[in-house]
């Protein structure tokens, strides 16, 4: 997750306005790419979440690496995530619930994907 650390520190660092204060420095979009960050929105007591896309299984399923979701900050590798949005645009996702070995009950709203690399100036 080496690349994820540098991207997440620059592109999606929490702060006033969430990730919006970095808009314009990194390309964003609604389609996953290997190496991009999936940015899940804040919901309830949740602070939101970042996950690094490691593989694209199909148009509506990806594999991610992420941490601090469950089990006191443990890193989870190879976690499936499914697009469950009505418009097939990754605005809502369901994450595999590792302890239960099933899809999570909650639908997680998502902002978009942040693509690796700074925009050309």
* The domain defined by 2-14+28-116 carries CATH number 3.90.1720: yes
Number of Cα atoms under 13 Å in the Cβ half of residue 112: 12
Whether residue 48 is predicted with pLDDT greater than 80 in this model: the reply is no
Task: Tell me which of 38 and 72 has the higher pLDDT.
Answer: 38
Question: Does 3 or 27 have the greater pLDDT score?
Answer: 27
- What Rg, from alpha-carbon coordinates, does the chain have? 14
Model confidence at 6: pLDDT above 60: no
Checking if the pLDDT of 83 tops 90, the result is: yes
Domain ranges within the chain, ordered by starting residue: 2-14+28-116
In total, the chain counts a number of residues equal to 121
Residues in contact with 37: Cβ distance below 8 Å, sequence separation at least 6, in sequence order: 4, 7, 8, 11, 12, 50, 51, 52, 53, 113, 114
pLDDT tier for residue 11 given thresholds of 50, 70 and 90: very low
pTM, rounded to two decimals:
0.76
């Amino acid at each position: 997750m080496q690349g994820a650390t540098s991207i997440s520190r620059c592109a999606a660092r929490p702060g006033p306005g969430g990730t919006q204060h970095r808009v314009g420095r990194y390309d964003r979009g609604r389609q996953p790419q290997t190496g991009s960050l999936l940015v899940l929105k804040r919901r309830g007591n949740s602070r939101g979440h970042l996950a690094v896309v490691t593989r694209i299984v199909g148009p509506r399923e990806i594999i991610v690496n992420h941490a601090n979701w469950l089990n006191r900050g443990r890193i989870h590798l190879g976690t499936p995530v499914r697009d469950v949005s009505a418009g097939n645009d990754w605005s809502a996702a369901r994450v595999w619930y590792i302890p239960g070995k099933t899809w999570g009950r909650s639908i997680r709203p998502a902002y978009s994907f942040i693509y690796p690399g700074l925009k050309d100036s």
